[in-house]
């Protein structure tokens, strides 16, 4: 795959998000399948692996460390802090907590280094901004970790343009990560432009619209713990309206000669060389399909037709449910 710039690193244009292997869309996949998936991605040219302390409450970091630590020199490792599982009652039951206090971030990093079986994390994101803590304090703690040699670069996730500017004034931010796809266009309001003004790479998670753009998906079959069950776009009248978008979209994919998943990722790649999609998957066939997007070329007419399909207010419903919306700092359409 062609390389793209991620802060101080050169990485594959398409990376791998490592949430799906243990978190968010259903039960974790078996260790053998995880190993096969991660090593196949590496062999196919993926050099950007993205995980987090939150995913599986450490399970994703442990899997990445177990499988890929022997190949550490071959890829750029990204992880996240500031949102993780905590045993609040002392009964062994972990609950998700957002905590951006400096001491917590330092402790989370030490635990992550152990789980990832590495001496340094290349790119370490603040997963969510804890609004109880000034962003300057949280980024200052991460800057201390850079100076200590624990991490090489700092990233932010799901923040607005003003918050990015405040953070960047404390320490250079290498990358900003947020949801971006044909059906989630919030970054285009302000934060994408702010990234370009500051020289910050933009990492696009959920480039397939939580599977919608790769389809078909059926919300009635979602696992009980599938996070999409709380997302309005997959519910009721919103879901009915959104399904209507797929007819023209899938027809265009056939015309281009690619799969719907490849069309979605290719659209992102065409939005600028500073954009790095990190589709996640637990399946080898989907991995190969996603990476094939690197060779898809779209002409101006095809890009205009995609904009006509998905631009403006074409997509029905918010991208997050009520609770999740209160936890992010992104601009809203």
Give the model's confidence band at 34: pLDDT under 50 very low, under 70 low, under 90 confident, else very high.
Answer: very high
Give per-residue pLDDT as tens, 64-113.
999 999 999 999 999 999 999 998 888 888 899 999 999 999 999 999 99
| 3-state secondary structure (DSSP) of residue 194 | helix
Q: Which helix (H) or strand (E) holds 241?
A: helix 236-243
The fraction of the chain above a pLDDT of 90, given in percent, is 93
Give per-residue pLDDT as tens, 245-300.
999 999 999 999 999 999 999 999 999 999 999 999 999 999 999 999 999 999 99
Q: What does the pLDDT read at residue 142?
A: 98
Q: What does the pLDDT read at residue 236?
A: 97
Average pLDDT in the 51-63 region? 97
Q: What does the pLDDT read at residue 259?
A: 98
Average pLDDT in the 31-52 region? 98
Q: Which helix (H) or strand (E) holds 204?
A: strand 201-205
333: pLDDT strictly greater than 80: no
Q: What is the DSSP string of 210-224?
A: TTTTT----GGG--T
Sign of the alpha-carbon dihedral angle for 102, 107, 108, 114: positive
Q: Locate 61 and state its tokens.
A: 């970091």
Average pLDDT in the 11-20 region? 97
Catalytic site residue from 25, 55, 124, 320: 55
- Reference 130, options 102, 107, 153; nearest CA is 102
205 phi and psi angles, rounded to 5 deg: -95, 165
| DSSP 8-state code for residue 124 | E
Catalytic (active site) residue 25: no
Q: What does the pLDDT read at residue 92?
A: 83
Average pLDDT in the 129-140 region? 98
pTM above the 0.75 mark? yes
| DSSP 8-state code for residue 26 | S
B/e letters for 223-251, b = 16+ CB within 10 Å, e = fewer, are eeebbbeebbbbbeebbeebeebbeebbe
Instruction: Give me the chain's average pLDDT, please.
Output: 96
Options 3.30.70.580, 3.40.190.10, 3.20.20.100, 3.30.70.141; which CATH number does 3-209+260-296 get?
Answer: 3.20.20.100
Give the model's confidence band at 23: pLDDT under 50 very low, under 70 low, under 90 confident, else very high.
Answer: confident
CB 96 within 8 A of CB 113: no
CB 288 within 8 A of CB 321: no
How far is the C-alpha of 188 from the C-alpha of 190, rounded, in Å? Answer: 6
Give the model's confidence band at 211: pLDDT under 50 very low, under 70 low, under 90 confident, else very high.
Answer: very high
Percent of the chain as helix, strand, coil, to the nearest 5: 45, 15, 40
Give per-residue pLDDT as tens, 301-322.
999 999 999 998 999 999 999 9
37 phi and psi angles, rounded to 5 deg: -65, -50
Domain-wise residue ranges, the chain: 3-209+260-296
CB 228 within 8 A of CB 210: yes
């Amino acid at each position: 795959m062609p390389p793209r710039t991620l802060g101080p690193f050169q990485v594959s244009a398409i990376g791998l998000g490592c949430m799906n292997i243990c978190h968010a869309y259903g039960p974790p996949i078996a260790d053998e399948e995880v190993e096969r998936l991660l090593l196949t991605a590496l062999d196919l040219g993926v050099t950007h692996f993205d995980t987090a302390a939150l995913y599986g409450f450490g399970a994703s970091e442990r899997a990445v460390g177990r499988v890929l630590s022997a190949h550490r020199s071959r890829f750029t490792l990204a992880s996240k802090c500031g949102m993780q599982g905590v045993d609040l009652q002392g009964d062994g039951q972990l609950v998700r907590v957002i905590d951006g206090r400096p001491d917590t971030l330092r402790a989370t990093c030490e635990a992550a280094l152990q789980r990832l079986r590495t001496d340094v994390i290349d790119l370490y994101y603040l997963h969510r901004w804890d609004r109880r803590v000034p962003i300057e304090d949280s980024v200052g703690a991460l800057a201390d970790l850079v100076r200590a040699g624990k991490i090489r670069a700092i990233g932010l996730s799901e923040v607005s343009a003003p918050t990015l500017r405040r953070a960047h004034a404390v320490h250079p931010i290498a990358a900003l990560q947020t949801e971006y796809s044909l059906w989630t266009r919030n970054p285009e309001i302000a934060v994408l432009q702010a990234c370009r003004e500051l020289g910050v790479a933009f990492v696009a998670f959920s480039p397939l619209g939580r599977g919608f753009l790769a389809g078909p998906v059926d919300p009635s079959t979602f696992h009980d713990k599938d996070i999409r069950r709380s997302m309005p776009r997959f519910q009721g009248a919103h879901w009915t309206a959104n399904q209507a978008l797929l007819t023209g979209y899938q027809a265009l994919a056939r015309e281009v000669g690619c799969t719907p998943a490849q069309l979605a990722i290719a659209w992102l790649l065409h939005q600028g060389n500073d954009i790095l999609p990190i589709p996640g998957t637990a399946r080898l066939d989907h991995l190969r399909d996603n990476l094939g997007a690197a060779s898809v070329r779209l002409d101006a007419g095809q890009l205009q037709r995609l904009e006509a399909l998905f631009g403006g207010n074409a997509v029905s419903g918010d991208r997050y449910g009520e609770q999740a919306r209160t936890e992010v700092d992104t601009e809203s359409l």
